[in-house]
Amino acid sequence: MKMMTRLTNNHIEFAEHIRNELSKPFSMDSCVVFSAFPSLGTGHFSIQLVDNSNPFLLVRQWNQDLGDSYALGIYNLDNVKIDEKKIKILDQDLFTIRDLIHADLGVKELKAIILDGVDFELRVIRQGQTNIYHWRTKAQISGKTNALIEKLVDVAGLQ
């Protein structure tokens, strides 16, 4: 049986597909997933801490090669290319990230309107419970949340 190509002309559905592909957990051992989704242009990525017997960071980046899709307004969901790279994590960095995961993470409500920018998401899985944080500006996140994000981005080499 031949599979049908999944096409959409709904840019919101297309963006949601990209979000899902970038942010889906690598395995049951994924305990942190940090994702950035710019409203315009490129730069969509996610960083996951896979905390198993040999911990590593998994970095996913969307390779935005839409060809004529953008001009035509038709998106092929089957041709979304996500680059994936595993990065070895040093013991000290792992200790710092684990410590920050258990810190008092927080995000304040946004009291402004931002028309374009970056949507950030942080998922932290602790003892079977998932906490999900969303923000648009650095001013919204607590110092510990910022420290965790900066450490993940630094170790992943995305600065």
pLDDT tens-place string over residues 111-128: 888 877 899 999 999 888
Share of the chain above pLDDT 90, in %: 60
Q: Is the pLDDT of residue 69 over 60?
A: no
The mean predicted confidence, pLDDT, of the chain is 89
Report residue 43's pLDDT band, with 50, 70 and 90 as the boundaries: confident
Enter the tokens of residue 31: 């305990």
**pTM higher than 0.85:** yes
Share of the chain above pLDDT 70, in %: 91
pLDDT, residue 79, reads: 79
